A = this chain, B = another copy of it.
């Protein structure tokens, strides 16, 4: 089998790691330990759906200088061998006696021993939107093996780097958004009064694949008169009805990069309520896109969307109204009243306003964009200003 070409040139990864290393230096870290699919992919280009198996932990150690070291199950050696990394250490996982802890401890100790000036601290993402993808007992064993060297939170170190996308990453996200845009354009041929929502979900996933998605990690949606009750449920088998508003939301993946946006469709003529809500969502999004600049904070975006919705006669729903996007379906920051993260040039983000349309019903709307020095540049093909109707 010929080798799949690396997704990016080695200098892309070198640049990413150099930026992480600058953050590590500022925080006095001698090593950075990464364990999640997104962090491993970001630093190495290692892309596999095998993460779906929870059986084995995978580790990347970022040293003070130079390339990361992979400490991984032997089953990944061939694929990681195609990456830009040259130091790949493997063990036969799963091993109930020692599932990589010894090898990882040695690697970390060696990495710390090489630091100039000596730096004993190991960074590990421990904050919001992170988790440790290894057994907790193994982490405790690792800490004991490496004591008294401390583990310290490196969430900010990783997030400040990953949140600013390179042009190569932006191009990937734009490509995934275009795939979803073409799949959404097919929905009028998929959805119709009488078709079960579950069949619509199925055909929409097929459309995403047919339009070029490598895989479809996320599809959600809902349907009902004047809106839907929920935006995270799997599809029920009930047929769409004339008068429903159908919403489909997708996180399709191409080359490891996600899109995350949704579209609404009226099944038959839209009610005034649905039309007005859609117009308010669209206008609030439009005005916020125009107002966005680096230097605003995440909470400012929440305020812009809420005041925009209210100005157009809509009642904002709770929850966050957008977020980061890229290597996972959602990334930080969160457009809530509480998130102080400053927006920076190169961030890829979603605007996701929602409004209450009736008791227990909402409508949502979402677009993806990259923040440039002079404002937002859309990555998703902009939704129609008027709620599109599928004749029923």
Instruction: Determine if A202 is an interface residue (Cβ-Cβ < 8 Å).
Output: yes
List CB contacts (< 8 Å) of A210-269 with chain B.
210, 214-220, 222-224, 228-238, 251
Instruction: Determine if A11 is an interface residue (Cβ-Cβ < 8 Å).
Output: no
Kindly state the separation between the CA atoms of A155 and B137 in the bound complex, as whole angstroms: 10
Min Cβ gap A191→B in Å is 14
Contacts of A95 in B (CB 8 A): 336, 338
Kindly state the separation between the CA atoms of A340 and B228 in the bound complex, as whole angstroms: 50
Number of copies: 2
Question: Looking across the interface, which residue of chain B has its beta carbon closest to that of A334?
Answer: B94
Kindly state the separation between the CA atoms of A50 and B323 in the bound complex, as whole angstroms: 14
A50 touches B216 (CB 8 A): no
Kindly state the separation between the CA atoms of A340 and B95 in the bound complex, as whole angstroms: 11
B50 touches A4 (CB 8 A): no
A55 touches B323 (CB 8 A): yes
Contacts of A206 in B (CB 8 A): 206, 209-210
The interface bits of chain A over 162-196 (1 if a CB of B lies within 8 angstroms of the residue's CB, else 0) are: 00000000000000000000000000000000000
Contacts of A48 in B (CB 8 A): 220, 232-234
Instruction: Determine if A12 is an interface residue (Cβ-Cβ < 8 Å).
Output: no
- The stretch among A22-30, A126-134, A276-284, A379-387 that forms the contact with chain B is A126-134
Contacts of A219 in B (CB 8 A): 49, 215
For A52, give its contact among B235, B236, B329, B338 (CB under 8 Å).
Answer: B329
The interface bits of chain A over 33-77 (1 if a CB of B lies within 8 angstroms of the residue's CB, else 0) are: 000101000000001111011110100000000000000001110
Given contacts A96-B128, A318-B74, contact A1 B215 (CB under 8 A): no
Query: How extensive is the interface on chain A, given as a class?
Result: 35 or more
Given contacts A52-B217, A55-B330, A205-B209, contact A318 B136 (CB under 8 A): no
Instruction: Determine if A115 is an interface residue (Cβ-Cβ < 8 Å).
Output: no
Instruction: Determine if A79 is an interface residue (Cβ-Cβ < 8 Å).
Output: yes
Min Cβ gap A175→B in Å is 14
> A interface, by DSSP: helix, strand, loop or mixed?
loop
Question: Looking across the interface, which residue of chain B has its beta carbon closest to that of A136?
Answer: B126
Question: Looking across the interface, which residue of chain B has its beta carbon closest to that of A227?
Answer: B1
Kindly state the separation between the CA atoms of A97 and B251 in the bound complex, as whole angstroms: 28
Contacts of A328 in B (CB 8 A): 52-54
Min Cβ gap A131→B in Å is 5
Kindly state the separation between the CA atoms of A232 and B338 in the bound complex, as whole angstroms: 41
Given contacts A130-B135, A205-B215, contact A1 B99 (CB under 8 A): no
What are 27 residue pairs bridging A and B, where the CB atoms are less than 8 Å apart in the complex? A1-B197, A1-B224, A1-B236, A4-B233, A4-B235, A53-B328, A55-B128, A57-B131, A75-B232, A75-B319, A79-B230, A95-B336, A96-B338, A126-B135, A126-B137, A126-B140, A127-B137, A130-B135, A131-B135, A131-B136, A132-B132, A132-B136, A136-B153, A201-B214, A205-B215, A214-B234, A215-B219
Given contacts A55-B323, A206-B209, 16 further A-B contacts (CB under 8 A): A53-B329, A53-B330, A54-B130, A54-B330, A55-B128, A55-B129, A75-B319, A78-B230, A94-B320, A94-B339, A97-B338, A125-B136, A126-B140, A132-B132, A132-B136, A136-B139
